[in-house]
Amino acid sequence: MTRSIADALDEGRRILVAGGVPDPAVDVELLLAHVLDIGRGEVAVKAITGGVLDDSLGVHFDELVARRAEREPLQHLTGLAPFRSLELHVGPGVFVPRPETEGVAQIAIDALDARADESPIAVDLGTGSGALALALATEVPRSRVYAVELSPEAAVWTRRNIESTGAHVTLVIGDMTDALSELDGTVSVVVSNPPYIPTGMIPRDPEVRLFDPALALYGGEGGLDLVRALSHRALALLVPGGTLVIEHGEEQGAAIRELLAHDGWRGPATHEDLTRRDRATTATR
């Protein structure tokens, strides 16, 4: 039995509201756009002009709405996560890139683009989906970018995104704490969104708690174990005057500045995201 698109959206919205989904109206439109393989704006037009949803597509839409109501991430359901100018493939086994990380990317892009080198090198440690590495490679195309990822499950998505974007990124499967020793002393920018949630602290959002891989979330008892390791590895990788960019939790800026200063970094500084929360700390080799 066919339904009007307007009715399908209304019903889906009610289900997502009952599930506690934060942006039910947006999510239900994006799910229907995915099912119909059209843009979200076209969904709105079809709803206004009396468009209908046939049986088979309606069943698929209802299934996706039910899964979203159980707080499965929207990006897992559509298979895509927007990041700056890119659309990245994501799914189980990889951390879904967040909008706030786009600002972290901008800091790294600016630092890389400012280098006078003909082909400056950048390294993304703990790349996950490849979001930061791919942003650097596509927005500073003269650069050489390396992406390091420990998890084979996440690396499946990194490879797919490198292939789908056509970006010149070299993927290295390994531990961010000792990878790419052959590049020591040659890198202009090291960027990372490391695991920084303290072990034992349970994320509020079910999408994070239930679906993001633990390897990408938890950074030891105080949340900074990987940041300490990252500091030491980046000191070896970077040229003098090179830039380190670390994403972190909003209450960790002061501790990370102190940590970096103790390790010998120059000018540690913390930067806010668009919501005025501390989001990234930078320092110079």
Residues 121 and 224 in one domain: yes
Q: Where are the alpha helices (DSSP H) in the chain?
A: 5-18, 24-36, 40-48, 55-69, 74-78, 101-113, 131-139, 152-165, 206, 225-237, 253-263
Residues 201 and 63 in one domain: no
Residue 80 lies in a domain: no
The amino acid at residue 261 is A
Structural domain containing residue 54 = 3-70
Identify the pLDDT of residue 217: 86
Question: pTM here?
Answer: 0.91
Residue 75 lies in a domain: no
Report the C-alpha gap between 75 and 72 in whole angstroms. 9
Q: Which two tokens stand for residue 64?
A: 């996706």
Residues 219 and 99 in one domain: yes
Q: What is the pLDDT along the chain (285 residues), one digit of tens a residue?
A: 678 999 999 999 999 999 999 999 999 999 999 999 999 999 999 999 999 998 889 999 999 999 999 999 999 999 999 999 999 999 999 999 999 999 999 999 999 999 999 999 999 999 999 999 999 999 999 999 999 999 999 999 999 999 999 999 999 999 999 999 999 999 999 999 999 888 878 888 899 988 888 888 888 888 899 999 999 999 999 999 999 999 999 999 999 999 999 999 999 999 999 899 999 999 999
Residues 58 and 195 in one domain: no
CATH code, domain with 233: 3.40.50.150
Residue 222 lies in a domain: yes
Identify the pLDDT of residue 270: 98
Residues 213 and 268 in one domain: yes
Residue 63 lies in a domain: yes
Report the C-alpha gap between 129 and 2 in whole angstroms. 38
Residue 243 lies in a domain: yes
Residue 78 lies in a domain: no
Residues 158 and 23 in one domain: no
Report the C-alpha gap between 49 and 134 in whole angstroms. 39
Identify the pLDDT of residue 1: 64
The amino acid at residue 72 is E
